[in-house]
Amino acid sequence: MAKVNIPALKLNNGRDIPALGYGTWLGLNDKAEFDPTDVPKMVDALSYAIDIGYRHIDTAHLYRVEPEVGQVINRKIQEGVVKREELFVTTKVWHHYHREADVEVSVRASLRRLNLEYLDLVLMHWPMSISQDGVDEKIDYLETWRGFESVLQKGLVKAIGVSNFNVEQLKRLVANSKVVPASNQVEINLNLGQKELVDYCQANNIVVVAYSPFGTMVPSRNQPNSPEPKLNNPTLVTIGKKYGKTVTQVTLRYLYQRGIISIPKTVTRSRVLENASIFDFALDNDDVRTIAQFDNGYRTVVPAFWQDFTNYPFEKRPVKLEIPLALRRWKNGANLDIE
């Protein structure tokens, strides 16, 4: 079996975080519903990922798959493939748990579903606070963060961070908190480089983790009139041939050379291996400059149904959308029957 060797970056608490992880979000279908059909494929791909050397696993309460993720982790520990302390497990607290005391409720529920004693990193999934009924609770994320500081102090988690925070929100959080976030997980890809945000995070020792690192390269995310590059982009294909790598490998390597961690998702074993096979080459300066020219600020993930809620972090658009029920109420696991 092929093996991969994934290097690590340092968090601001001195702990290591692998520079590439396995993302477990399976997404919603075209009816904005969660379809558990691919959960068994995810379980197989995650098992394979750990077997070949992945040590960073990214999940969330929203993803519904914490029970299965925990089963894989515990099985691999029992098999002797990996020790718990060698793994870096991240999960996230959803909108419904933004009151200070509710953060611990959410974290303990995640620990129960994952069947773990602690988490390596817990993130505030979004800065907004929205009830299961879709009501704007207008809870200040500074209050929520106090709940995060509490679970850190209690040893339930080893590090705390945020997700989908913009620069202004991060600055306010840093200025008014005891603990600086260890990480900010945001969309970053070749179209959305987020230079200002990345520069701020790196200047303040906040590790940046990129979700949707392929943007609209992925066919399922390829919207009408979405910009280049696509998987067959001639410029990237040429760069890939130069190094004997695929376009997606070039993309992940480019982000890594920016000091950014990526958490690509796939349920295909071959892509699990391909995604992690990026640490045996380096893009030269000319190729880095060429790739940087694709950055045009195009955002792939636009949850405009939240844009009128307090603390929405992105630019607003002239649309009115209902929040999908799947983002308000759910149960967990492949059978969708676990609280």
Among residues 126, 133, 64, 121, the alpha carbon closest in space to that of 95 is found at: 126
Whether the per-residue pLDDT at 115 is higher than 90: the answer is yes
* Residue entry with tokens 């929405």: 312
* Pair of tokens at residue 56: 């960073």
Whether the per-residue pLDDT at 301 is higher than 90: the answer is yes
* Residue entry with tokens 């060797």: 5
CATH of domain 8-327: 3.20.20.100
Q: Does 95 appear as a known binding residue? A: no
Contact in structure between 265 and 24 (CB atoms under 8 Å): yes
125-177 pLDDT tens trace:
999 999 999 999 999 999 999 999 999 999 999 999 999 999 999 999 999 99
Where in the sequence numbering do the catalytic residues fall? 63
- What is the reported pTM? 0.97
Q: Band of the pLDDT at 248, cuts 50, 70, 90?
A: very high
Q: What value does the mean pLDDT take over residues 90-102?
A: 98
Give the pLDDT of residue 113.
98
Give the pLDDT of residue 220.
78
Whether the per-residue pLDDT at 223 is higher than 90: the answer is no
Supply the mean pLDDT for the chain: 97
177-219 pLDDT tens trace:
999 999 999 999 999 999 999 999 999 999 999 999 999 998 8
257-292 pLDDT tens trace:
999 999 999 999 999 999 999 999 999 999 999 999
Contacts (Cβ under 8 Å, ≥6 apart) of 11: 17, 121, 159, 182, 183, 207
